[in-house]
Amino acid sequence: MSRFRLVFIGLVLLLFSVDAVSARSSASIIAFDQITQPNQPVRLAVRLVTGWLSLVHRPISGERIEFMLKDRSLGQTLSGGDGMAVKSFAPSTPGLYVVTVRLVESPRYEADAAELYIACRKASVPILLVALSSVRTPGQPPPISFNPTPSSDTMPEAVKVLSGLSKRYQLLYLETGDEALIPETKDWLIHQGFPPAPLYVWPLPNEAERRTERFLERLQEIRDAGWTNISAGITRSTEDAEALSSLKIKAVVMAEEDDNEPLTGAKKVTSWKAIPSVLK
């Protein structure tokens, strides 16, 4: 074999090896928002899964995840068998903490950084639950988009009203579905201009009875964490509104103009402009 041919084969093998090293699979970081009180440790948690090109998101284990607060590292931890990476953090003063979570350089995967919201408030601050179904125009599905932009999908005045209410309440956004919705839903909230607040995504069953049971369980989990001051909730679901009322929580249903269905223990409105006066 000639010397030239040996050199040529060597170059080809080198190029293939470089491609093999650089070809990393896409991954996604799903960040779970939290609420806490000053000086109370909170569980920062994310799940590392295979990226959006995968038909099914599979957990990724054994990868280093770093939590950053501004330019300060809160530490690194490895993702477990379920893809979860967890770190403890205790904010000292009230406010909204934005923790950036990134995948530390990996030979196997690449992923965009994610943001995790920690709302730190005194227990006396009232909480307002906002189901995202109530801010979307009727019939609109949860936002799944690679480039979410402001659109007519949002109920008129919803952003303006919630921006005002965020000065009196700690907002907590609620969405129904799989946790894989979290990144797209957060992007949608930002692009629509909603005030920043934690987002909880709950996989509630479709059956009304089981849905209400699970919804109540989730509300109780928030209360058990020390947040007994859930003042009110805004939703489009009459079942969820009745569940809120059963816990002595003021419930507001965003209804359509022609909705004449009777409702017990909750207030119906047809526009976001009416909500501030209802909550007084």
The CATH number for 95's domain is 2.60.40.10
* Token duo for residue 185: 């839903």
Per-residue CA distances from 172 to 41, 131, 150, 232 (Å):
19, 8, 21, 11
* Token duo for residue 174: 């609620």
pLDDT score at 81: 96
Say if residue 87 is in the same domain as residue 148. no
Say if residue 113 is in the same domain as residue 193. no
- Spell out the alpha helix ranges (H) of 36-170: 158-165
Per-residue CA distances from 130 to 6, 38, 170, 209, 267 (Å):
68, 23, 10, 21, 15
In a domain, 86, yes or no: yes
pLDDT in tens, 182-198: 999 999 999 999 999 99
Say if residue 197 is in the same domain as residue 272. yes
Q: What is the CATH number of the domain that holds 197?
A: 3.40.50.1000
- Spell out the alpha helix ranges (H) of the chain: 3-22, 158-165, 182-192, 208-224, 238-246, 275-279
Taking a C-beta distance cutoff of 8 angstroms, is the pair 83, 48 a contact? yes
Degrees, nearest 5: CA angle 128-132-138:
130
Domain containing 239: what range? 127-279
| Percentage with pLDDT > 70 across the chain | 85
In a domain, 8, yes or no: no
Taking a C-beta distance cutoff of 8 angstroms, is the pair 24, 49 a contact? no
Say if residue 272 is in the same domain as residue 175. yes
State the Cα torsion 7-12-14-17 to the nearest 10°: -160
Q: Confidence class of residue 263 from pLDDT cuts 50, 70 and 90?
A: confident
pLDDT in tens, 34-72: 999 999 999 999 999 997 655 578 999 999 999 999 999
Quote the mean pLDDT of the chain.
86
In a domain, 15, yes or no: no
What burial letters (b/e) apply to 175-185, b meaning 16+ CB within 10 Å?
A: bbbeebbbbbb
Total number of domains constituting the chain = 2
Say if residue 160 is in the same domain as residue 242. yes
Which residue's entry shows tokens 């049971």? 213
pLDDT score at 18: 40
In a domain, 17, yes or no: no
* Domain finish residue from 120, 141, 174: 120
In a domain, 2, yes or no: no
Which of the pair, 15 or 236, is modelled with greater confidence? 236
* Domain finish residue from 120, 142, 157: 120
* Domain finish residue from 120, 138, 166: 120
pLDDT score at 2: 52
pLDDT score at 13: 47
Contacts of 13 (CB under 8 A, 6+ apart): none
* Count of Cβ atoms closer than 10 Å to residue 89 Cβ: 19
* Token duo for residue 250: 């003021």
Say if residue 146 is in the same domain as residue 210. yes
Name which of 272, 250, 244, 258 is nearest 137 in CA terms. 272
Euclidean distance between the first and the last CA atom of the chain, given in angstroms as a whole number: 89
